[in-house]
Structure 1
């Protein structure tokens, strides 16, 4: 069940204020810990996931964006900057996975920008924020960079430029 869909011309200036009514509803009655009784039956309530695009996910979690050196939301890989492509890339494939405990204790200090108000909720700050959609991973990220590079010949190799 979708609880809310948010949109606008820009991100909220104050995340805590933006999430205030949601956090109050989720924590005021202890509904997430104790559940709710409906027709004499106890119903357990759990926030299953927050579905966000990459910029929104970073904003909600208070972490570095996906294209920064410490931006991977699932592992602790450190990105390297490429002066050729003017982007960060992640050379390691086998890295330590992020955990909810590691996130909450800020084991990777450079990954965190500020404390998210969502830390007050009984959620897993890693697993409850799924990643795996093509929009920012391919269509607006890698694919756009590749297409513009081929079009403009910015890869430093004339064989990679499209011919008219």
Structure 2
């Protein structure tokens, strides 16, 4: 359909894919690559992650410390220049698409569950001496609003909290 299109009412209709919009777990599944939290999981660059232990000494996470890492390209993706990034051969590689640029990064995991979550934790749990702080009253009001919104979310949506 992307190459030859199809006829409809005497007109040739070609299909064009602008982007695949999916969350991070779905992205790694359909592209057959490592998940974003793994050592070779970045879909945009070829950096190797480093494991950083939590301050408590229990657990930790993989971080991507390089700022100027080699960028992943469609060509480097398809030629498997970083073999450790791939878990298999994706059927999507048969399509005339860009295997890096046509897959935008999911903001939910990076922003809403990442940086924003951390900022809210800092603002809500800091001592009174901090200049930027959310009061307990406002936190309570926010929770009330979120609980009201959660009642309106259909049961098919698994993320209510």
Given the two structures, how large is their TM-score scaled by the length of structure 1? 0.64
4+ aligned runs moved over 6 Å, structure 1: none
Indicate the residue corresponding to 2:82 in structure 1: 108
> Which residue is 1:37 aligned to?
7
Residue 52 of structure 1, aligned match among 16, 19, 22: 22
Question: Higher Cα Rg: structure 1 or 2?
Answer: 2
Structure 1: distance between partners of 2:22 and 2:113: 15
Cα distance in 2 for residues equivalent to 1:91 and 1:122: 32
Give a deviation string over 1:28-50, Cα, whole Å, max 9, x none. Answer: xxx21112233333232112211
CA offsets per residue over residues 119-144 of structure 1, 9 Å max, x none? 222221111111152x1112223444
Give the unaligned 5+ runs of structure 1.
1-30, 152-163
| Structure 1, 138-147 or 72-81: larger mean CA deviation | 138-147
Instruction: Give the Å deviation of 1:75.
Output: 0.9
- What per-residue deviation string (whole Å, max 9, x for no partner) do you get for residues 39-94 of structure 1? 33323211221100011101110111111111110111111110136111111111
Q: Secondary structure at the match of 1:34?
A: coil
Partner of 1:119: 93
What is the TM-score of this pair, normalised by structure 2? 0.65
1:83 to 44, 53, 57: 53
For 1:126 and 1:67, locate their aligned partners in 2 and report how far apart those are by CA, in whole Å. 17
Matched pairs, number: 120
